[in-house]
């Protein structure tokens, strides 16, 4: 599916650096103003005590649904899973009995609340730490957002750039993906049953990728006004850390000048943009009494 028109709001300083250096600034998640962005808050959407109550059912159901699938969990747990698979293949009626036994003595079954609190916190912390390896670039589909001109273009004094990723040059910017907005930050697993099935039989690498994408491309409803798309790139093994990535000059196709921009800044930024891409289209933003923003070609 082709990307919609995408725009990047910048302050005057950011505009001069971006156009002058032919690079966009990528952020490390810990640098975000919204400290909950690019983080996960819990292993499950429910409190851990509630999740643990359904854990025996989830694990037994996952095994019974995968009686012939090779387990992919840790070797110590794998032996138990294989033993249960053999038992359930011989007598499917044992499922409810095993569930009842796990619920009767959760500590012995490894489902004690304290042990799982420690395990859950460690898993969440590891996931959040791993996401610090990503470098993220955020854009929007809305070039006429009064709030974004105010917040990200510093009181209408900055600019907005349209980015048109180059298909011919297989640009990295073709990999932008939309952000989804929801009431709360997503957990690592939506349901205990998903956790059980994935942890026992799933592709661990694919599971990590899917989980991270669900977190990276999600924000709370308070930020819905941003209409955001993101490009998230993990650092490769041994790759030197970076904070900027270059773009092709022809990928910057439109320049929007803020309504409160000074004449001196306009002249400098337009000259820099045209030196970068002589074909760039330039527009002047204006704002009416109701705060609506429109643009005139320059």
Question: Which of 28-37, 65-74, 87-96, 231-240 has the highest mean predicted lDDT (pLDDT)?
Answer: 87-96
pLDDT tens for 39-63 read 666 777 777 778 777 888 888 999 9
Q: Residue 205: how many CA atoms within 13 Å on its side-chain side?
A: 0
Q: Which of 59, 15, 39, 38 is nearest to 272 (CA)?
A: 15
Tell me the pTM.
0.76
Q: What is the DSSP pairing of strand 252-257 with strand 159-163? A: antiparallel
The DSSP secondary-structure symbol of 233 reads E
pLDDT tens for 109-148 read 666 677 777 777 777 777 777 778 889 999 999 999 999 9
- Residue 263: pLDDT band (50, 70, 90) is very high
Helix and strand counts by DSSP (H, E) for the chain: 9, 12
Lowest mean pLDDT among 95-109, 166-180, 220-234: 95-109
Q: What is the DSSP pairing of strand 180-182 with strand 218-220? A: parallel
């Amino acid at each position: 599916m082709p990307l919609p028109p995408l725009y990047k709001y910048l302050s005057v300083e950011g505009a001069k650096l971006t156009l002058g250096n032919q690079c966009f600034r990528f952020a490390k998640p810990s640098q975000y103003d919204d400290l909950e962005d690019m983080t996960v808050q819990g292993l499950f959407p429910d409190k851990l005590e509630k999740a643990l109550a359904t854990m025996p059912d989830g694990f037994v159901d996952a095994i019974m649904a995968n009686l012939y699938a090779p387990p992919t969990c840790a070797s110590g747990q794998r032996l138990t899973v294989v033993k249960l698979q053999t038992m359930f293949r011989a007598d499917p009626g044992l499922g409810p009995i095993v569930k009842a036994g796990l619920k009767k003595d959760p500590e012995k079954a490894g489902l004690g609340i304290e042990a799982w609190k420690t395990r859950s916190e460690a898993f969440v912390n590891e996931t959040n730490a791993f996401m610090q390896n990503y470098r993220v670039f955020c854009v929007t589909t809305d070039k006429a957002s009064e709030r974004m001109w105010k917040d990200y273009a510093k009181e209408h004094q900055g600019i907005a750039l349209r980015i048109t990723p180059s298909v011919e040059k297989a640009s990295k910017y073709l990999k932008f993906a939309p952000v989804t907005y929801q009431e709360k930050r997503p957990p690592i697993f939506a349901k205990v049953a998903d956790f059980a099935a994935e942890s026992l039989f799933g592709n661990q690498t694919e599971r990590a990728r899917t989980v991270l994408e669900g977190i990276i491309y999600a924000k709370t409803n308070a930020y819905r006004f941003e209409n955001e798309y993101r490009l998230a790139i993990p650092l490769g093994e041994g790759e030197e850390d970076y904070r900027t990535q270059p773009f092709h000059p022809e990928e910057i196709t439109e320049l929007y000048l803020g309504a409160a921009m000074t004449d001196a800044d306009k002249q400098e930024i337009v000259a820099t943009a045209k030196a970068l891409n002589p074909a760039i289209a330039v527009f002047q933003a204006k704002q009416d009494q109701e705060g609506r923003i429109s643009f005139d070609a320059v």
